[in-house]
């Protein structure tokens, strides 16, 4: 008998569907949209904050990378040349990453997360 009580509760929950007239649809849609946007504000703000922190750290790292002096190391000249070339490549990729992250539009959180994932991939 316990299993049947579960199904009865489920049927009662389904009956709680709100019925509206055709004229009230626009207002209901607007209300639902506002509720959804209200729920999305907090995650959107968290994403903005973390993204700005990330951008600050990346820019600081870029400055450190540009001020790196390889002449002090006692490595062979060929190794220094290889490392310099790799640093130039890394610097260009880092610059592209920073500019791509700065150009992001803060639309819905789902679209924003997808765009961020595409940038990092």
Band the pLDDT of 21: cuts 50, 70, 90: confident
pLDDT of residue 13: 54
Of the candidates 93, 40, 41, 34, the residue with the CA atom closest to the CA atom of residue 65: 93
SS3 assignment, position 108:
coil
What is the average pLDDT score of the chain?
80
pLDDT of residue 81: 85
Listed in sequence order, the DSSP H helices in the chain are: 2-14, 25-66, 77-102, 109-120
Inform me whether the pLDDT recorded for 11 exceeds 60.
no
Mind listing the pLDDT tens digit for each residue in 52-108? 898 999 999 888 888 877 777 787 888 888 888 988 898 999 899 888 888 887 777
Distances from the Cα of 95 to the Cα of 54, 59, 63, 112, angstroms: 13, 9, 11, 20
Inform me whether the pLDDT recorded for 5 exceeds 70.
no
Inform me whether the pLDDT recorded for 12 exceeds 90.
no
Determine the distance from the C-alpha atom of residue 41 to the mean position of all C-alpha atoms in its chain, rounded to a whole number: 13
Read off the pLDDT of each residue in 32-52 and give the average, rounded to a whole number.
Answer: 84
Domain boundaries, the chain: 23-120
pLDDT of residue 56: 93
């Amino acid at each position: 008998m316990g299993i049947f009580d579960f199904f009865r509760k489920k049927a009662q929950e389904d009956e709680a569907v709100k019925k509206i007239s055709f004229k009230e649809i626009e207002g209901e849609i607007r209300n639902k949209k506002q509720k959804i946007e209200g729920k999305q504000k907090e995650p959107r703000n968290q994403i903005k904050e973390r993204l700005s922190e990330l951008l600050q750290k990346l820019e600081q790292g870029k400055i450190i990378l540009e001020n790196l002096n390889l002449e002090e190391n006692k490595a062979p000249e060929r190794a220094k040349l290889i490392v310099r070339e790799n640093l130039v490549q890394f610097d260009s990729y880092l610059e592209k990453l920073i500019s791509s992250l700065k150009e992001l539009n803060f639309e819905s959180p789902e679209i924003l997360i997808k765009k961020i994932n595409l940038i990092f991939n």
